[in-house]
Amino acid sequence: MIEMTNVYKKYPNGITAINGLDVRIDQGDFVYVVGPSGAGKSTFIKMIYREEVPTKGTVKVGDFDLVNLKAKKVPYLRRFVGVVYQDFKLLPRLTVFENVAYAMQVVGKKPKQIQKRVLEVLELVGLKHKVRMFPNELSGGEQQRVAIARAIANMPRVLIADEPTGNLDPETAWGIMDVLEEINNQGTTIIMATHNSDIVNRVRHRVLAVENGRIARDQEEGLYEYEG
């Protein structure tokens, strides 16, 4: 499903973020990516949806070979992989409904289908009553949920969430986790970078610990094992 082999990533400023990383993630997995700040977590995640390209090694996601992927094909990868960003990245001038709908228009879905599916995913994240609001009228947790709704609208095979609970209060964070669990139960692979030990320890899944640019620990139903 997702396969990284002997991956290196060196930034132009000389920092080596990923240093010989190997990992394999199967379809339907739920994976936590943990590790101290600056250990390469973000770079690792960004290489899955090709915001970053490795300097060396291979990255395969589904049928996409990310190292040799042509710029023209990148949009199609981004439809296969849904991403929830830490800073939400909602379109500020579109309403909640339109934000989610945008991802489906991109794929060329029919307006009727879009209407139905958008309301469906917004209901799943519990925001059906706020469809006409603009992002700046929502709280952080609500914006995060809109971002999740948008990421799953096209039923991607992989959902990547970069610190989805990072800026949220514990109660909202658990709400988000429920949504992610639900999506995972429908067969979507979930890769979630997090610092939230509470969640990792209580909702047990495979844990990938990234340290010094490589996988330091890969454990089924693992624990968080970092301080604070």
Instruction: Decide: is 112 part of the binding site for other proteins (CB under 8 A).
Output: no
Burial 28-43 (b: 16+ CB within 10 A, else e): ebbbbbbbeeebbbbb
Residues contacting other proteins: total by CB under 8 A: 26
Instruction: Decide: is 93 part of the binding site for other proteins (CB under 8 A).
Output: yes
Angle made by CA atoms 16, 20, 24, in degrees to the nearest 5: 125
Contact present, 168 and 185 (Cβ < 8 Å): no
DSSP state at residue 56: E
Contact present, 214 and 21 (Cβ < 8 Å): yes
Residue 177 has, within 13 A of its CA and on its CB side, a CA count of: 22
Instruction: Decide: is 71 part of the binding site for other proteins (CB under 8 A).
Output: yes
β-pairing verdict for 189-193 and 16-25: unpaired
Cβ nearer to other proteins, comparing 33 with 153? 153
- Concatenating the DSSP letter of every residue in 4-16 gives EEEEEEE-TTS-E
Only one of the segments 1-9, 73-81, 123-131, 195-203 lies at the binding site for other proteins (rule: CB under 8 A); that segment is: 73-81
Only one of the segments 28-36, 54-62, 103-111, 215-223 lies at the binding site for other proteins (rule: CB under 8 A); that segment is: 103-111
Q: Amino acid identity of 63? A: D
Distance in Å, CB of 31 to other proteins, minimum:
21
Between residue 138 and residue 167, which ones bind other proteins under the rule CB under 8 A? 150, 154
Give me the 30-49 binding string for other proteins, x by CB under 8 A, dash otherwise.
-------------------x
Only one of the segments 100-108, 119-127, 157-165, 179-187 lies at the binding site for other proteins (rule: CB under 8 A); that segment is: 100-108
Residues that bind other proteins (CB under 8 A): 49, 51, 71-72, 75-79, 83, 85, 89-93, 102-103, 105-108, 110-111, 150, 154
